Amino acid sequence: MTQSNARERGQERHRGAVTLRRQSITNSTADQRLLDSRARADWKTKDAWRALRILSEFVEGFDTLADLPPAVSVFGSARSKQDSPECQLAEALGAALARAGYAVITGGGPGVMEAANRGASEAGGHSVGLGIELPFEQGINEWVDLAIDFRYFFARKTMFVKYAQAFVVLPGGFGTMDELFEALTLVQTGKVTRFPVVLMGADYWQGLLDWLRDTMAAEGKIGPIDLELICVTDDVAAAVRHIVEAEAALSVEQEVVREEAVARAAADQQAAADDASAASDGPPGR
């Protein structure tokens, strides 16, 4: 057996629950085939079946993650080296979140994701990886205790938000930016409630933050208050404290809303009882 043959046999790609090896590996992904408008003529025969596959990914994700404790999604580059500052920061963050009682959710890949999963796992916490089918296979890192492989980005991204109380974003590329701005959009538009977004690796983000303030906000594309949606810190303890305090504040607000709803319901019941009593007395006799 030659070394090249051994390497060839070791190649594999995960497509949801399916594992492909050698000649079974294709150069396209499920997302690519779904979104390719050139194949629109096939929609009557293929897209209906894709809808069932998409549904199955949501069912699998919801069913698997429903019993997670409160969690934080951590994002960052798959290309970061394990001795890089961002990976060291991610590992410390993962451990601190685990000690604070949070599960840590990442994309399950190498780099920053692996570092965060390692920190959480070694600290005895829940370490979760949500993988995705890519043209270049990354695979789930060894520090993930609970993993799901997705075909479709949108199903996977739903799980990142639905089962997390916060996002922490470390230096990364397009995928990291995608998750960051989706989270900010959801918070800005009120689609998610009190969802902390923390940037770590302040030097890396400074140029983006300057542009958001000096260009986007200055030209009125976002409001000045929108910049307050982002917490920037390189202090792991401060990041975790920000998340914990936001969750506590939301709990207080929800309790106030609940008490007000109970009080309104009691007042309505009393008013209805008073009206019924007045009606039963009837008009005075003649």
Give the pLDDT score at 11: 65
Count of alpha carbons within 13 angstroms of residue 108, beta-carbon side: 22
Residue 115: how many other CB atoms lie within 10 Å: 29
Which domains are assigned to the chain? 60-248 (3.40.50.450)
Average pLDDT over residues 143-161: 94
Asked if 250 and 194 count as a contact pair (C-beta separation under 8 A), the reply is yes
Question: Average pLDDT over the chain, rounded to whole?
Answer: 85
Query: Does residue 33 or residue 134 have the better pLDDT?
Result: 134
Residue-wise pLDDT for 250-275, tens only, equals: 666 655 666 777 778 777 887 777 77
* Whether the predicted pLDDT of 6 surpasses 50: no
Q: Please give the Cα distance from 186 to 272 (Å, whole number).
A: 40
Determine which helix (DSSP H) or strand (DSSP E) holds 146, and give its type and residue range.
strand 146-150
* Non-local CB neighbours of 73 within 8 Å, separated by 6+ positions: 105, 106, 160, 161, 164, 166, 167, 168, 179
Contacts of 93 (CB under 8 A, 6+ apart): 74, 116, 119, 168, 170, 200, 236, 239, 240
What is the C-alpha to C-alpha distance for residues 240 and 176, in angstroms, rounded to an integer? Answer: 20
- pLDDT band of 277, cuts 50, 70, 90: confident
- What confidence tens digit (pLDDT) does each residue in 205-236 have? 999 999 999 999 999 999 999 999 999 999 99
In angstroms, how far is CA 279 from the centroid of its own chain? 56
Instruction: Classify 220 in phi/psi space as left (phi over 0), alpha (psi -120 to 50) or beta.
Output: left
The whole-angstrom separation of Cα 266 and Cα 260 is: 10
> With 70 as the cut, is the pLDDT of residue 45 above it?
no
Report how far residue 155's alpha carbon sits from residue 160's, in angstroms, rounded to the nearest whole number. Answer: 9
